[in-house]
A and B are shown apart, each in its own frame.
Chain A
C-alpha cells in the first residue's frame, strides 16, 4: 500500500526554527509537495521537490532524499501566523497525489 507519515502535532516558540518530517512509501515517485493549511481554510502551496537536496524559499526550506523516502520542511524565524497544518503529498507513478494526514504546528509566544 501507499503511505505518507508525518507527526500529528508539533509545538514551537515564536522566533525559533522547526523541522517537520515526512516519510513516504509509494508506488513510484514523481515529486513531493508541501502545502500549508490554516484552520477552516484551503491548502496553499509552499514548496516542491523532485530532485534530492534543499529548496529554499524565504523563511521556508524543503529537503528531499529519494533513496531514504524522506523529506522535511524547515521553518525559520517562526511567526504566530505560521500556526497551521502542514501537509506532505507525494505524486506517485500514476501522477496522482498521495497525501499525508498533516502536522498541526502550534506556535507559542
Chain B
C-alpha cells in the first residue's frame, strides 16, 4: 500500500496564479483532511471531508476550495494565490474505530507539498 500520497512535492507560484494539490489514499479511509504548517505554529486545518461528496470548512478555509468526488481523492485548490499562502501543505486521512469504547481515529499523513508564492 502506498498510504497517502500528494502531488506535487514542490511548487512555486506567482501571486494571482491558481493551482490544485492532489491527495490520494489507498486505505479506504472515510475521512480526509488538508492542513497547512507554518514555522512556529501548529498544524492548522483548512478543509476536511467525512465522506465522498462531502466537504466542510476548518480553521483557516479562506482562499482555498476543495472537492472529494471520489473516496480516495481529496483536491485542494488555490484560485488566486497570495504570498500568505506560502506554506507546507499536508493531507491526511483517517478511519474511525473504538478503543476502550472511545472513538479513536489516528490520522495518516502524506509527505507534504512545499508551496512558495512570490
Partner of B43, one of A48, A51, A99: A99
Question: By the criterion CB–CB under 8 Å, are B90 and A42 in contact?
Answer: yes
Among A62-85, those with CB < 8 Å from B are none
Question: By the criterion CB–CB under 8 Å, are B40 and A48 in contact?
Answer: no
Question: By the criterion CB–CB under 8 Å, are B45 and A31 in contact?
Answer: no
Question: By the criterion CB–CB under 8 Å, are A96 and B58 in contact?
Answer: yes
Partner of A45, one of B99, B106, B112: B106
Q: Does B73 contact A (CB under 8 A)?
A: no
Least CB distance from A7 to B in Å reads 13
Q: How many residues of B contact A (CB 8 A)?
A: 23
How many A-B residue pairs have C-beta atoms within 8 angstroms? Tell me.
Answer: 54
Question: By the criterion CB–CB under 8 Å, are A43 and B40 in contact?
Answer: no
Q: How large is the interface on A (under 10, 10 to 19, 20 to 34, 35 or more residues)?
A: 20 to 34
Least CB distance from A89 to B in Å reads 8
Partner of B103, one of A8, A30, A99: A30
Q: Does A105 contact B (CB under 8 A)?
A: no
Q: Does A54 contact B (CB under 8 A)?
A: no
Least CB distance from B19 to A in Å reads 20
Among A36-53, those with CB < 8 Å from B are 41-45, 48, 50-51
Chain B residues within 8 Å of A87, by CB: 42-43
Partner of A50, one of B41, B59, B102: B102
Question: By the criterion CB–CB under 8 Å, are A42 and B109 in contact?
Answer: yes
Among B71-118, those with CB < 8 Å from A are 90, 99-100, 102-112
Question: By the criterion CB–CB under 8 Å, are B109 and A43 in contact?
Answer: yes
Partner of A99, one of B44, B104, B111: B44
Interface residues, chain B, CB within 8 Å of chain A? 40-45, 48, 58-59, 90, 99-100, 102-112
Complex A-B: 21 CB contacts under 8 Å: A8-B40, A31-B102, A41-B111, A41-B112, A42-B109, A42-B111, A42-B112, A43-B90, A45-B107, A45-B108, A50-B99, A51-B100, A87-B42, A89-B42, A95-B105, A97-B45, A97-B107, A99-B42, A99-B43, A100-B42, A101-B42
Interface residues, chain A, CB within 8 Å of chain B? 4, 8, 30-31, 33, 41-45, 48, 50-51, 87, 89, 95-102
